[in-house]
Structure 1
Amino acid sequence: MLSAAPSAAHADTDTPPSLTDGYGLTQVPTEKPIADSNTSTSFVITVTTPQVANDPGTTGHHIKILLPADYAANPTRRYPVLYLLHGVGGNPIEASSYPSLQNPTSVIEVIPDGGIRGWYSNWLYQKTAAGAQNWENFHINQVIPFIDANLRTIPDKAHRAIAGISMGGFGAFHYAQDHPELFSQVASLSGAIDLSRDSMDVRMAAVGTLTNGGGVCGSSLPVCPASFGPTVSSDALFGTPYPFSIFYPYSDTLWNKADPSTHMAKMAGMGISIYVGNGNGNPANMEFWAESASKHVKDHLDALKMPYHYVNYGNGTGWGNCDGGHNGPCWAQDLQDWIPRLEQAFAAS
């Protein structure tokens, strides 16, 4: 039986619902330029938690929430929830800007902070310059129950979906595999969904975000930013990324354990969607590597005889304003294709 719905009547259309702290999350004031744009159906809250340190220059972690237009007018109605995970260097506000996410009619959309390079995981090593990095704890044990307690969700697997862009694609598959009881629909948009030895290029791109390009810059991989934050060891996330090492855990055991591609059986029964381009065959475009990773996942799904929805739009011809690269116009078209299918799946559940 569903619990009593939180109060959600708000006469002022510019006022977001009032949410109550809990599950280890404490709300703090959101920066005024962001808060000034909040409405009752599209708003950002900012939270702090001991599970994940604030990124440099921030006071907390943003969570973008988009509610259906009739949310306040129908105080007894409950809604399915989509959790969307952003990519490396992204943020919830940027990720909420795609047209297909605007003005939802039947789904609550939640876009939580995933850090500059949090990789949607509990890092092996917590005592680095980056501070606490328990992103899986934050999202699974805190954000999801916080949303269910404060908003009129339908709090079950059949009515909860997770999707992600690039790094967030890894996060979506990783969370679905670690917590299959929580999600019924999963989607990867240009996702880093193969961290196995079959995709050492993608694995090294992830390492580059930890080391700020150290050991990777100068190769063909586009992972040489000014900074992803404090430089940490390549081992901070899952231990050594290399197949053979004299350092704990002595091989890439934990990378292989976290790799989604070789554990697709854990997603049996879920609706699985994969979108990817080809980066125009250019190894300097991250989409080139995302395509290889996605094909590996497709091969594993085929071997398991599991159903899925797979779109490889190549160089982007005929796919909206997409050019086949690792960028927003392609992801906008991915969402335009996926969101209606998600709504249909929820309606049928």
Structure 2
Amino acid sequence: MWRRSPILSTVDTDGTELSRLLSRVGAAHVLTGRRRGLGRAALAALLVMVTPAAAAASDLGATVSSSAPAAAPAATTGDDVIGDLTSSHGLTVSEVDRVDERLVRLTVASRELARPVRLTLLLPQGYTATTRRYPTLYLLHGTSGGADDWVQQGEAEDITAGFPMIVVMPDGGYDSNGGGWWTDWVDQDTALGVANWETFHIEQLVPWVDAHLRTRARRSQRAIAGLSQGGFGAMSYASRHPDLFVSAASFSGAPDIAKAPQARTLGAAVVGAIMTGLNGVQPHAPFGDPVLDAVNWQGHNPADLVGNLRGMDLRLWVGDGTNGPYEDTADPRYASPDPIEAIVHESTLLFAEAADAAGVPYVLDDYGPGRHRWPYWARDLAQYLPRLAEVFRQDRSVPERIDYRSIDRRYSTWGWRVRTRREPPQAFSGLVRASREGFVFLAGPAVVRTPPSYRPLTTYRLRVQGERTRARSDARGRLRVAVSGGRSVVRVQGRLPG
């Protein structure tokens, strides 16, 4: 059942379908406003299913038997494509395998990660026969998965064959373990070692891909999508870096793990179970303690950052955990509803509520019967690609006004650069309606540097909190503005003569 946000059309959001599902699961219902939360029975089932002996009734995005290929001392070369895939941007390429015309597998190392990881590429048909440039889709795997999952289990090579785009599928965990949750870990002193997944993917992999493949290296030609834990990752990266991606999609993902009360409970339980049961590390290694480090959870949680997604093409698919068209009801593995799909169903609907409240459009396919399994994610991808191709064809322009919030001390987005001067290491601050005419900054003090929107080396008249002042643009045409605490209103009123 396709459902659009109220920004696009009126929908029913009373949550009755989820309530019926949870009754079938046997969960103890906890009333939380209009929606019912998952009870102990569903949580207990979840904790059983996110162990290394997880049953096939929920795939968890896993290829449990796969392992990372051994690193070679130097990159293998053979043709123009492979020869171009060399080390740079913080990545050391140690192995390249051109499997066929489209499929390329690599092993890469980075100082941001404790060990080499895999990277799988799908090139467009005819890539080597032309000098054409292509848009890029970053496609993320789920828990216990790896870079090859979408090809080996999700039919990605066949599904993407008719679409002229480069598909990039990186590892998001070590050796197909429980995964890194697409973040730079708070605890770097675990048995797994250094785990700066966001830095690796965003600051190293994206520029490396743009440097070594014929991409259209701009936001309007770059998208991100993922399944399960990778669905969270896709929405988290998109919400933290909206200037990089024009479209984001979640297939049975968990786009709220920290905003709604039941999402906080489920998020802590799911992440903790995966960390201890599959990764063998302390439960709060990625995001920190859910209470003491709550702001870090919120600062990576798509539902808390939903305002950053305004203007992006947002697509979500999720089932209700009951048997659908791909299950044999005689199979005993499918005798009970799937608690994991029920949980991501809850998380997805909570994200939709947050988007509704923020006035951020999205399209949700709440398709009813369906378990946490690959046939559904392959179908989701096949449905997403035609829409994504249309978004790429639109070549959307940069928004005229920017809203953005972050917990980081320093951040940059859309050409704006912010350096906060606050005492807490993490706290929300942000830009509101930022444009060439000015901006509102929340939760200073901070120094804000604008994009290069002004005449270089020119003095401009400003009003900061109602007081007149001046600022001189640098050689690139940027203005530097210091703001105090609270809510600071800055208006650029024009340049001075001379």
1:321 maps to what in 2?
A: none
What is the rounded CA distance, in whole Å, between the counterparts of 1:330 and 1:195 in structure 2? 22
1:96 and 1:111 in contact (8 A); partners too: no
2:128 maps to what in 1?
A: 72
1:190 and 1:326 in contact (8 A); partners too: yes
Q: Secondary structure at the match of 1:139?
A: helix
Please say if 1:303 is aligned against 2:354. no
Q: Secondary structure at the match of 1:72?
A: helix
**What stretches of structure 1 of length at least 5 have no aligned partner?**
1-9, 55-59, 213-227, 244-249, 316-323
**Which AA in structure 2 matches 1:255?**
W
1:123 and 1:237 in contact (8 A); partners too: yes
Greater strand proportion: 2
1:340 maps to what in 2?
A: 386
What is the rounded CA distance, in whole Å, between the counterparts of 2:117 and 2:343 in structure 1? 29
2:136 maps to what in 1?
A: 81
Please say if 1:182 is aligned against 2:240. no
2:137 and 2:222 in contact (8 A); partners too: yes
1:176 and 1:186 in contact (8 A); partners too: yes
**Which AA in structure 2 matches 1:113?**
D
Please say if 1:44 is aligned against 2:105. yes
1:66 and 1:104 in contact (8 A); partners too: no
**Which AA in structure 1 matches 2:271?**
A
CA deviations on 1:154-184 (whole Å, 9 max, x unpaired) are: 0000000000111111111111111111000
Percent identity, aligned pairs only? Answer: 36
With over 3 angstroms needed to count, the CA separation of the structure-2 counterparts of 1:234 and 1:107, relative to structure 1, is same
Please say if 1:210 is aligned against 2:275. yes
Q: How many Å apart are 1:260 and its aligned residue? A: 1.2
RMSD of equivalent CA atoms: 2.1
Q: Secondary structure at the match of 1:122?
A: coil
Relative to the length of structure 2, the TM-score reads 0.57
What is the rounded CA distance, in whole Å, between the counterparts of 2:367 and 2:157 in structure 1? 21
1:5 maps to what in 2?
A: none
**What stretches of structure 2 of length at least 5 have no aligned partner?**
1-76, 324-335, 396-498
Q: How many Å apart are 1:39 and its aligned residue? A: 2.0
1:16 and 1:40 in contact (8 A); partners too: no
1:16 and 1:39 in contact (8 A); partners too: no
2:315 and 2:362 in contact (8 A); partners too: yes
1:142 maps to what in 2?
A: 204
Relative to the length of structure 1, the TM-score reads 0.80
Correspondence 1:60-139 to 2 at 5 A: 60-75=116-131, 77-97=132-152, 98-102=154-158, 103-115=161-173, 116=177, 117-139=179-201
1:170 maps to what in 2?
A: 232
2:287 maps to what in 1?
A: 238
What is the rounded CA distance, in whole Å, between the counterparts of 2:135 and 2:343 in structure 1? 33
CA deviations on 1:2-28 (whole Å, 9 max, x unpaired) are: xxxxxxxx9979x74531210111111
CA deviations on 1:199-224 (whole Å, 9 max, x unpaired) are: 12233111111111xxxxxxxxxxxx
What is the rounded CA distance, in whole Å, between the counterparts of 2:319 and 2:83 in structure 1? 39
Greater helix proportion: 1
**Which AA in structure 2 matches 1:63?**
L
What is the rounded CA distance, in whole Å, between the counterparts of 2:163 and 2:288 in structure 1? 43
Quick one: which of 190, 198, 220 aligns to 2:262? 198
With over 3 angstroms needed to count, the CA separation of the structure-2 counterparts of 1:47 and 1:287, relative to structure 1, is same
What is the rounded CA distance, in whole Å, between the counterparts of 2:212 and 2:356 in structure 1? 40
**Which AA in structure 1 matches 2:181?**
W
What is the rounded CA distance, in whole Å, between the counterparts of 2:266 and 2:205 in structure 1? 32
1:195 and 1:258 in contact (8 A); partners too: no
Q: How many Å apart are 1:125 and its aligned residue? A: 1.1
1:280 maps to what in 2?
A: 322
CA deviations on 1:38-95 (whole Å, 9 max, x unpaired) are: 12321101101111123xxxxx2111101111211112x1100000111110111122
Q: Secondary structure at the match of 2:368?
A: coil
With over 3 angstroms needed to count, the CA separation of the structure-2 counterparts of 1:51 and 1:12, relative to structure 1, is closer
With over 3 angstroms needed to count, the CA separation of the structure-2 counterparts of 1:255 and 1:207, relative to structure 1, is same
Q: Secondary structure at the match of 2:106?
A: strand
Q: Secondary structure at the match of 2:232?
A: helix
Aligned length: 297
What is the rounded CA distance, in whole Å, between the counterparts of 2:110 and 2:225 in structure 1? 23
